[in-house]
Amino acid sequence: HILVKDLYRKTEEYADKQVTVGGWIRTVRSSKTFGFIELNDGSFFKNVQIVFEDTLENYQEISKLNVGSAIIVEGTIVKTPEAKQPFEIKASAITVEGTSTPDYPLQKKRHSFEFLRTIAHLRPRTNTFSAVFRVRSLAAYAIHQFFQERGFVYVHTPIITGSDAEGAGEMFRVSTLDLNNLPKDQDGKVDFSKDFFGRETNLTVSGQLSVETYAMAFRNVYTFGPTFRAENSNTARHAAEFWMIEPEMAFADLNDDMELAEEMLKYIIQFVMDNAPEEMEFFNNFIDQTLFERLVNIVNSDFGHITYTEAIELLKKVNHQFEYPVEWGSDLQTEHERYLTEKIFNKPVFVTDYPKDIKAFYMRQNDDGKTVAAMDLLVPGVGEIIGGSQREERLDVLENRIKELNMKEEDYWWYLDTRRYGGTKHAGFGLGFERAIMYMTGMSNIRDVISFPRTVKNAEF
Ligand code: 4AD
Ligand code: MG
């Protein structure tokens, strides 16, 4: 089969040639003697128009096909310079692969994204989702290309883990125990020694701790996989299952980390603009009319930098505007992040050196005793897209922090070993893949950039 995308791109080459295309019917119109089909073959969000005549032996059958049917068309490419589409296919034969029914949910009209979420198994057949998931696929490819070109080793870190990488207690439990009949020990606590792994386990919230150990062998590494958080926040940018890109570099500090993050983000954006120009134009026309301007501006500008302490000073001046006023020590909410990146910088901005009490245990403590060498990248429209840090490489400082936070030290013995045996300064970050896709497409809800979203009270499909 020929791809419709190629027909659009190389119409001259295919003109008057015989082609075969397979796809799904978007509309059928017919009269007594001829008809039109708008066909989508999945290679492109644009349809191809099929003209068919009653010279086809199955003309009646084709005329009565319902929207959604799958067909294979053989025919000739005819250029139509006067029409909306630059060409059409004059069918010489149409084979029906699979019929559809009149209650097919995707009739030709505008459907809301909310409605389309209820048919997540069919929504990839719409223009918007066709464009979103093609861009998502290309962005994943761009990320691998970016790191591979730079010699980073791709490490597959485990999905099931025994530790809490972020120490935030937002984990999904993994267990084979019978919930209705849990084995108990003498103190009445659940006896996890009876569980499959003989211990408590959960789905990973981040591959970082595992990937750090590989950075201590390969220097530059990355992991890119699904991560899971049982965060009870029902927002447009939180999912319980999301994908994260986590590079880690040995012999690197926070500045190296921010340089890598900026270079990577610009690379992905440029790659997608170069390789999906039609899809990006679609987003710019129908989803967010400032998209191109914004993305071009990002590729060409230097990202901003501000410390957390400076950011709080700025935000305090406009505290009356916020639902949650800030003071030194408070975590930045989306409203504050967006104010900084949209009102003050109008471009992506790195916020650095957060108070240690609102950040994870592994971040390197600064000399002031109050802050850590952390960085979050905030972007207009989305807020936090990247979280990263230089890691605490000093064994004693790290051990003390784990004790201070009442974490189970015995769960982290292998992690601490990397500080015992040839530890060195190192740094890394995590890019939320869905947030990056939202940012690049202008889509405003995380549920619409992941195939089958998992959010609070929602794990259908
Ligand atoms: O800031 P976070 O929690 O950082 C980490 O997990 C570090 N271990 C990363 C590292 O240094 N290797 O998460 C990183 C990014 C966030 O900036 C955000 O983009 C995304 O992951 N993220 C989520 N995306 C969707 N839904 C959620 N519930 C998310 N939580 C975090
Ligand atoms: Mg974060």
- pLDDT tens digits for 228-263? 999 888 899 999 999 999 999 999 999 999 999 999
Ligand 1 atom closest to the Cα of residue 429 is 11
Cα–Cα dist 434/239, whole Å: 9
Most informative mutation of 164, 171, 206, 245 for ligand 1 (most atoms within 8 A of CB): 206
Closest C-alpha residue for ligand 1 atom 18: 432
Exposure pattern of 147-164 as b/e (b: 16+ CB <10 Å)? beeeebbebebeeebebb
Contact 256, 249 (CB under 8 A): yes
Neighbours of 217 (CB within 10 A): 12
How much is the average pLDDT of 191-199? 95
Cα–Cα dist 389/11, whole Å: 50
Most informative mutation of 170, 435, 443 for ligand 1 (most atoms within 8 A of CB): 435
Taking every pair of Cα atoms in the chain, the longest distance, rounded to a whole number of angstroms, is 85
pTM of the model: 0.96
Q: Compute, in angstroms, the gap from residue 262 CA to the centroid of ligand 2.
A: 17
Closest C-alpha residue for ligand 1 atom 26: 238
* pLDDT band, very low/low/confident/very high, at 217 (cuts 50, 70, 90): very high
* pLDDT band, very low/low/confident/very high, at 109 (cuts 50, 70, 90): confident
Answer whether 206 contacts ligand 1 (Cβ < 6 A).
yes
Answer whether 254 contacts ligand 1 (Cβ < 6 A).
no
Tell me, what's the pLDDT at 163? Answer: 84
Q: Compute, in angstroms, the gap from residue 448 CA to the centroid of ligand 1.
A: 18
* pLDDT band, very low/low/confident/very high, at 167 (cuts 50, 70, 90): confident
The secondary structure of the chain in percent helix, strand, coil, rounded to multiples of 5, reads: 35, 25, 40
Cα–Cα dist 225/413, whole Å: 24
* pLDDT band, very low/low/confident/very high, at 270 (cuts 50, 70, 90): very high
Ligand with minimal distance to 438 CA: 1
Q: Residue 249: in which H helix or E strand, if any?
A: strand 241-250
Cα–Cα dist 260/307, whole Å: 18
Exposure pattern of 286-309 as b/e (b: 16+ CB <10 Å)? ebbeebbebbeebeeeebbebebb
181 exposure class (CB count in 10 Å sphere: 0-12, 13-18, 19+): exposed
